[in-house]
Structure formats: C-alpha cells, structure tokens
Structure 1
Amino acid sequence: MTATTGDVWLPFPPGEIDGLPDSFRYHQWDGEDTFPADPAACVFYVTPYMKSQEVTLRPLARMPALRVVQTLTAGIDHVLPGLGDLRPGVRLCNARGVHEASTAELALTLVLASLRGIPGMVRGQDREEWRGGFYDALADRSVLIVGYGAIGAAVEDRLAPFECGPVTRVARSARTAPHGPVRALADLPDLLPDADVVVLTTPLTEDTRGLVDAGFLGRMKDGALLVNVSRGPVVDTAALLAELESGRLRAALDVTDPEPLPAGHPLWHAPNVLITPHVGGSSSAFEPRAKRLLARQLTRFAAGEEVHNTVLIKD
C-alpha cells in the first residue's frame, strides 16, 4: 500500500511529532467545527482522541481518497458505524502499544484502592474520622482477567509483585500465552465462583456487549470485586446495581453505561462502588506513545509497507 502524497489529519500539531515523513501534507484536526482542509484529499485520518462518535465519524463520508483510519484508542467500536461510508480496502488500525501501561496501572489502582478501603478513608478524612480496622489485601487473592489481550497481559504483569493468588486468563478462544494457558469465554461459568477479583479488559463486541449480566454476576462469590477498565456496555448496569445494593458484590468502574454517568444516576451513590471517569488511557504516558505510534505508522505508509495494528480491512 504505497502513498507518497496526500493529506494526513492529525489531532496533534505536526511539528510536535518527531520522525514524520516529508511527503505528506499535514493538518491538525481534533474535532473542531471547521475542517482544516478539504476532506476529499485526506489519505490517512487519525481520529480525535476521546471525542464523541458523532465528531469522530463526521468527516468520513467526505474522504473518498482515504486509505487508513488510525484510532488512538485500543477499542474501535466507536468507529465501526462509519465504515459504510468508506471504500473497499480502507484499513482500520487501533492504538495497540499506547494504552497498555496506563490502563493496567489504573486497573491495579482500582483493585488496591477498593480492597484496602481507600474511598471510605478519603471520606473519613473529609470528616476528620479515624477509620481503623482490618481491610482486604490483594495478597493471596485469586484474580480472573476477562479479555486477555495486550492490556490484560499488562495487568497480569503488574499483579506479579503483589503476591496475589492464582491468575486465570480468559479470552474469546483458548490458547497459550507466555504467562500460561488462556481459557475460552465459554468457560466463564465454571471460573467465576473461584475468583476474588474479576478484571474486565475485553473489547466491546457483539459477543461481549452485556456479557456481565445477572447470570455472570450471580456466579461471582460473595464479597468479590468486579473491576471494569474495558467498556461500559460490557456490564449490565441494572444487574450490577442490584448486586451492589444488596451488599453482596463490590465494583470499581472506570467505564459506565451510560457514559458520562449523569448526575442523579443511582450508580453514583450505590454502596461498595468506586467510580473513575474513563481515565484509563488518559495519563502522561499517552501522548508520547501516541506520537511514536503515528510516526512509525506514517513512515511505513509512505514506504509502501503494511501499517501495523490493522484490525480490519473494509470489504
């Protein structure tokens, strides 16, 4: 796939990205109302980061020369509805390699904060209350990682120093990974009752939408912790609320359904839940990794080499 000329749309100022090939015309667009140039000349479109689906998809129907759509997210579900506007052969690439470290850090933060009762201690500090006592540790706790891709593996890497119990890995289909065997999604009913902590790192697909429903939650052991750093719709919010309000389960959520979580939603004040506002990938680690990825991808594109991280090719 050779492209030695044409426009490239970037959400960053081009001058801030080292190593961009000279053959393209670069334009910065991060979702503003006005396009930076004629979309018809764009051959490589880097989608704005953390903007709405409507904003992300707005220029696609006006990009007949487009060859590559590059997201800056690990998931690509927000782009899929716009594929009908693209010509055959367009490649959709994700940001594998950009978010693993940051998202895994947050997953571990949510696990530790929830088990050690940090949210309650913060509230106690606000009220000048000394909330002593015994709290759960991660040490010796069994962990089930649902969605064992690059982020799931990064989560396991960070669990290793904490002396947790057995780590069980689950993905769409069974395989062997460097850390050990990966079980299939179909095995979840047998695996859930043994897990003290369940971490969701799965992409949002038709198979995983609503995966964590009343049946899934009902198989989790009493007192278990559910951590979601994947996508909100992977979890049935009503079913989770029922378990939280009963006091049987705990949850730590970086993503919710709906999202953003509106004021007045009962999830805000449900017992035993810690909520962060979808910041798994939004850290100081994001921008330098994203810029390095774009430089590599565009260098390959200019040289006629296949770009990395291709998730699908429009047929």
Structure 2
Amino acid sequence: GAPPGRRWGAGPRRRRAPGLRPGGQDGAGRIGRLLLQRLKPFGCTLLYHDRLRVDAALEEELGAAFEEEVDAMLPKCDVVVLNMPLTDKTRGMFDKEKIAKMKRGVIIVNNARGAVMDTQAVADACRSAHRRAGGDVWYPQPAPKDHPWRYMPNNAMTPHISGITIDAQVSRSLLCFQVRYAVLQGAGLPGAQLHCQGRQARQPVPVK
C-alpha cells in the first residue's frame, strides 16, 4: 500500500511514452539514420529533413517520411532532433523564428553542434515553459559561468560527456591499438577517409 499520509496513484508523475509521438529530425546522415533505426521499434511517427533525400528502399526500411521543407516539418513534431553538421548555412539556424514554429511543449534535442542553435533564443523558449531542450553540445565550449543554458529551466543539458562511457573507452583503446599495429605492419590506416570527387570512400591509406 501507499506510505502513511500519502495516496497511491500516478498523479503528477505521469509521463508520455515515446510510442506514436511524432518525431522530426533535421539531418539524415550516418548518425541520423542510426537514430531513425533505433526509434522505429517504438512505433513513433518519424519525419526527417535533409538536403539529400535517402533512397526509397531505405525510407521504407526506416519507416520515415521525407519533409522537403524543415519549416513545414517543425509544427508537426512533439520531438525535434538536430543531427546536421555545423556549416555557414546551419550556424544559428535554429533561432527565435524557427523555434516559434514548433509545437507548445516540444522537446528539442541537439545531437549536432551547439552553434546551430541561437543560445539566447533557446534559453528564452525554455523559460516560457512551452519548450524543453536537451543536448550534450554547447557554444562556446566549455561554457562560461554566465552561459544562459546553465540556468534556464526545462532543460536536460550535459557538459559534452554523453560519449564517455566504459564501453566507449574500451572501443577507443582497441581502435588505438589497431591503428598502431597497422602502422607498424605497414598495412595502412584502417577506416581512413579519402575524398574522391566530392564523396567519401573508406579505403586504407598506405604508410610509407
């Protein structure tokens, strides 16, 4: 039963589950596609925007619908996830006007770079109690003591530590060993990136 003096029930602790909630994603590169794959089993309505649309077979596999205009996608989403690279075009892209297009109560998750968001616009939106934000990236970084994201309500920000897990450290150590071993054997660097005609191809780079 309930503790003395307290009533049993969900009450204010009730939360909404991710299933069937519309989720929008800006950016469908490698990380974005992996996220869509992981969200599919929850039964979410998945929308995505990217300058390059993925092929139809992959869209069907992911269960994701393409949105040609990000401004048209934002009002449809309960959760908006940012996965785009930081470029001259994306710097400060999510400003006061973009955030205003989102639903009341939306959750904004920044997996990209802190600078793709307007710092003050995000802080103001979270203080309004109509928007919530989460992420592991800041701008500038490390964040100064007076950074508004440190003190804004309705946030789940972390200081760029989400990738520092025991498993990640083991993987990095193994990768360092593999690279050093490959170099000493003269076999080239595993997984090195070569830029060929504007596209990236994974090929070993010979070590002289």
Q: Same fold (TM over 0.5)?
A: yes
1:179-198 to structure 2, matched below 5 A, reads 179=62, 183=66, 187-198=69-80
CA 1:249–1:156: 2 relative to 1, 3 Å? same
C-alpha spacing 1:205/1:311, structure 2 compared with 1 (3 Å): farther
- Identify the residue that residue 157 of structure 1 maps to in structure 2: 37
SS in structure 1 opposite 2:69? helix
1:302 aligns with 186
**Counterpart code for 1:302:** G
Q: Does 1:168 align with 2:51?
A: no
Name the aligned partner's letter for residue 310 of structure 1: Q
Instruction: Decide whether aligned partners of structure 1 residues 251 and 311 sit closer, same or farther in structure 2, where only a CA change above 3 A counts.
Output: farther
**Aligned pair count?**
181
Output aligned runs, 1:59-74, within 5 Å: none
Task: Tell me if 1:220 matches 2:102.
Answer: yes
Q: TM-score, normalised by structure 2?
A: 0.73
Instruction: Map 1:79-228 to 2 at 5 A.
Output: 132-133=11-12, 134-164=14-44, 166-176=45-55, 177=58, 178-179=61-62, 183=66, 187-228=69-110
RMSD of aligned Cα (Å): 2.9
Distance 1:274 1:249 in 2: 12
Give distance in 1, aligned partners of 2:71 and 2:135.
Answer: 22
Cα distance in 2, alignment partners of residues 188 and 268 from structure 1: 28
1:234 paired to 2:116 = yes
Question: Quick one: structure 1 residues 303 and 265, their matched pair in 2 at CA, closer, same or farther if it must change by over 3 Å?
Answer: closer
User: Does the residue aligned with 2:166 lie in a helix, a strand or coil?
Assistant: coil
Q: Which runs of 5+ in 2 are unaligned?
A: 1-8, 197-208
Q: Which amino acid letter does the alignment assign opposite residue 170 of structure 2? A: P
CA drift at 1:175: 2.4
Distance of aligned partners of 1:217 and 1:161 in 2 relative to their CA distance in 1, 3 Å threshold: same
Identity %: 32
> Structure 1 stretches (4+) deviating beyond 6 angstroms?
none
Q: Secondary structure at the match of 1:173?
A: coil
Q: Deviations over 1:130-168 (max 9, x none)?
A: 99423222122111122212221222232233332x111
Q: Which has the higher contact order (CA 8 A, sep 6+)?
A: 1
Return the alpha-carbon distance in structure 1 between the equivalents of residues 82 and 140 of structure 2: 17
Q: CA deviation at 1:183?
A: 3.9
Secondary structure in structure 1 of the residue aligned to 2:24: strand
Structure 1: how far apart are the matches of 2:111 and 2:99?
A: 17
Using the size of structure 1 for normalisation, the TM-score is 0.50
Aligned match of 1:266: 148
Q: 1:249 to 1:293 in 2, by over 3 A?
A: same
Provide structure 1 residue ranges, at least 5 long, that are not aligned to the other structure: 1-129
Mapped to 2, the partners of 1:297 and 1:238 lie a distance apart of 44
